[in-house]
C-alpha cells in the first residue's frame, strides 16, 4: 500500500496558502489580542452576551448549556448557565439554581439568556416564556381554518380561539446581596430602565470599497480606514444617515456616557467573498489625548459602557474562543499617546 505523503515543497506551498488566507481574513496581526491595546480580560466565554448593572457593580454573562438540562425536544439549544463578575474586584461567580429551578431547567423551562437588574441594583431577574401551548393551539387553529370557508373574521381574534391556547411565563430572581448566588422562582419581576443608545454626532464617508473616512460634526477628519488584511478587497461600517438608517447602527457604534469616546467596528471581506473579523476601534472625540483611532481587537462582537465611563467588549483571542474585556479609555489613551 502506498501512503500519500506531502513533499517538502508541497508542505511549503500549503503553509504559504494558509498564511495567505490568514492575512486576507485578519491581517495575522500580532497585536490583535485586546490586552495589547490596554484591555483587561475579565472572563473567557463561548457566548458574547453580557449585561452591566446600572451602578457598574455587576456584569452578567452567558456560559454553556446547563448540565441540569435534560429535555431533547423542548428548547434544546437554550437553558444556558449564567455568571456574574464583580466589577470592583474582578471576581467571577457562578449563578446556581436551587432544587425547584433545577427541575424547571430539566424540562427546558428554566432561566435562560440575559436577565435584568432591579431599580436598586440588588437583584437580577429572569423571565422565561413557554410558547409551546400557544404554538400548538395556533397550529391546531390553522389546521381548522384550512378546512373552513373564507368567511370574513375579526383579525384581532383570529388564531387565538382554540381552548387551552395560552402563554406561560416563569419568573426567577437572584439576590445580589447574598453569596453564593442562587436562582429562585419568584412571583414577579421589577426591571430598571436601561438608557437608550445615543447616536454619535459624526459622519461616515465611503470614499471607495477600500477606504472609509470619519468626520466630526464640524468637518474635522477623525479617522481614515483601509483594509487591515493585505488581500481584503472591501471594508464596511453601518450608515448613520441616509435611506438605510435603522437601529442596526447600534451594533457598530457605542458612545461613552460623557460622549468623549466612541467605540466602533469596521468589517472586511476577502477576495473570495469570505467575511473577515470585524475589528474594533476607539476614537477620542475630545482629542484631548490623541487624534488617531486606537485599535482595540481583531474581532469585536458586543460593546457597552458602564456608568463610570469604562468600556467593555466581547472579542476574539488567540488563546481563547472569546473573552470579555474592559478598557479605561482615559488611562489607555493617555498611556498610548505618551508612547508607553
List, for residues 134-146, the tens digit of each pLDDT value. 544 444 444 434 4
Domain of 102 in residue numbering reads as 55-131+167-185
* Dihedral of the alpha carbons of 201, 207, 211, 214, in degrees to the nearest 10: -10
Q: What is the SS3 assignment for 86?
A: strand
- What is the C-alpha to C-alpha distance for residues 220 and 33, in angstroms, rounded to an integer? 30
3-class DSSP state for residue 130? strand
Residue 63 C-alpha cell reads as 456560559
For residue 190, being part of any structural domain is answered with no
Grid cell locating 39? 484591555
The better pLDDT of the pair 336, 155 is held by 336
Residues 209 and 255 in one domain: yes
Residues 178 and 59 in one domain: yes
Across 57-89, b (16+ Cβ under 10 Å) vs e yields: bbbbbbeeebebbeeeeebeebbbbbbbbebee
For residue 85, list its beta bridge partners: 59, 92
Angle, CA 186 vertex, CA 184 and CA 191 arms, to 5°: 105
Is residue 287 in a domain? Answer: yes
pLDDT in tens, 219-275: 999 999 988 766 667 888 888 876 555 678 889 999 999 999 999 999 887 666 555
The DSSP H or E segment spanning 48 is none
Same domain, 173 and 293: no
Q: Please indicate, yes or no, whether residues 178 and 252 belong to a single structural domain of this protein.
A: no
The dihedral sign for the CA sequence 246, 247, 249, 255: positive
DSSP 8-class letter at 49: -
Q: Is residue 2 part of a domain?
A: no
Task: Find where cell 494558509 sits.
Answer: 18
Asked if residue 67 is part of any domain, the answer here is yes
In a domain, 75, yes or no: yes
Q: Indicate the SS3 state at residue 220.
A: coil
pLDDT band at 158 (very low <50, low <70, confident <90, very high): very low
Confidence band of 32 (pLDDT split at 50, 70, 90): confident
- Please enumerate, as own/partner, the contacts of 277-281 that have beta carbons within 8 Å and a separation of 24 or more: 277/25, 277/26, 277/316, 279/228, 280/313, 280/315, 281/223, 281/225
Q: What is the DSSP letter of 303?
A: E
Q: CB under 8 Å to 268, separation ≥6 — which residues?
A: 25, 227, 228, 229, 232, 234, 235, 236, 275, 276, 277, 278, 279
Answer yes or no: is 159 within a domain.
no
Whether 246 and 114 map to the same domain: the answer is no
Same domain, 78 and 174: yes
Residues of the chain with pLDDT > 70, as a percent, come to 73
Residues 235 and 331 in one domain: yes
Give whole-number Cα distances, 285 to 104, 248, 264, in Å.
Answer: 48, 22, 12
Stronger pLDDT, 17 or 117, i.e. the higher one:
117
Band of pLDDT at residue 23, cut at 50, 70 and 90: very low
What mean pLDDT do residues 179-183 have?
Answer: 97
pLDDT for residue 153: 34
User: Which grid coordinates belong to 146?
Assistant: 384550512
Indicate if 201 and 328 belong to the same structural domain.
yes
Percent of the chain's residues with pLDDT above 90:
50
Question: Does residue 75 sit in the same domain as residue 174?
Answer: yes
Residues 265, 329 within the same domain: yes
So what's the pLDDT on residue 257? 96
Q: Does residue 143 fall inside a structural domain?
A: no
Better-scored residue on pLDDT, 236 or 181: 181
Question: Given a cut of 60, is residue 169 above it in pLDDT?
Answer: yes
Same domain, 69 and 91: yes
Exposed e or buried b per residue across 107-124, where buried means at least 16 C-beta atoms within 10 angstroms of its C-beta: ebbbbbbebbbbeeebbb
**The pLDDT of residue 161 is above 60:** no
The count of domains in the chain is: 2
**Would 245 be classed as within a structural domain?**
yes
**CA-based R_g, the chain, Å:** 25
Q: For residue 140, what are the contacts with CB-CB under 8 A and spacing of at least 6?
A: 162
DSSP codes of every residue in 223-245: EEE--SSTT--EEE---SSSTT-
231 and 314 both lie in a single domain: yes
Amino acid at each position: 500500500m502506498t501512503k500519500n505523503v506531502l513533499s517538502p515543497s508541497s508542505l511549503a506551498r500549503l503553509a504559504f496558502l494558509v498564511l495567505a488566507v490568514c492575512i486576507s481574513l485578519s491581517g495575522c496581526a500580532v497585536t490583535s489580542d485586546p490586552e495589547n491595546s490596554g484591555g483587561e480580560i475579565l472572563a473567557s466565554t463561548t457566548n458574547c452576551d453580557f449585561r452591566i448593572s446600572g451602578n457598574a457593580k455587576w456584569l452578567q454573562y452567558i456560559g454553556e448549556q446547563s448540565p441540569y438540562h435534560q429535555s431533547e425536544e423542548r428548547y434544546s439549544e437554550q437553558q444556558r448557565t449564567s455568571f456574574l463578575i464583580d466589577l470592583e474586584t474582578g471576581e467571577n461567580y457562578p449563578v446556581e439554581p436551587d432544587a425547584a429551578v433545577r427541575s424547571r431547567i430539566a424540562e427546558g423551562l428554566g432561566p435562560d439568556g440575559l436577565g435584568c437588574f432591579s431599580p436598586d441594583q440588588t437583584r437580577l431577574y429572569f423571565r422565561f416564556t413557554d410558547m409551546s401551548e400557544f404554538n400548538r393551539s395556533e397550529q391546531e387553529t390553522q389546521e381548522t381554518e384550512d378546512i373552513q370557508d373564507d368567511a370574513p373574521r375579526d383579525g384581532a381574534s383570529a388564531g387565538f380561539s382554540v381552548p387551552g391556547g395560552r402563554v406561560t411565563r416563569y419568573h426567577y430572581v437572584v439576590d445580589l446581596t447574598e453569596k453564593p448566588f442562587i436562582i429562585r422562582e419568584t412571583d414577579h419581576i421589577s426591571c430598571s430602565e436601561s438608557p437608550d443608545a445615543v447616536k454619535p454626532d459624526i459622519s461616515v464617508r465611503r470614499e471607495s470599497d477600500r477606504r472609509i473616512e470619519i468626520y466630526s460634526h464640524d468637518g474635522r477628519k477623525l479617522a481614515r480606514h483601509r483594509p487591515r488584511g493585505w488581500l481584503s478587497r472591501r471594508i464596511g461600517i453601518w450608515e448613520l444617515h441616509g435611506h438605510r438608517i435603522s437601529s442596526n447602527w447600534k451594533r457598530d457604534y457605542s458612545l461613552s456616557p460623557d460622549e468623549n469616546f466612541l467605540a466602533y467596528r469596521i468589517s472586511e471581506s476577502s477576495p473570495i467573498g469570505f467575511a473577515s473579523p470585524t475589528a474594533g476601534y476607539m476614537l477620542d472625540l475630545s482629542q484631548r489625548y490623541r487624534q488617531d483611532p486606537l485599535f482595540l481587537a481583531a474581532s469585536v462582537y458586543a460593546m457597552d459602557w458602564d456608568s463610570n465611563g469604562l468600556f467593555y467588549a466581547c472579542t476574539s483571542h488567540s488563546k481563547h474562543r472569546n473573552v470579555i474585556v474592559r478598557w479605561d479609555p482615559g488611562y489607555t489613551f493617555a498611556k498610548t499617546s505618551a508612547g508607553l
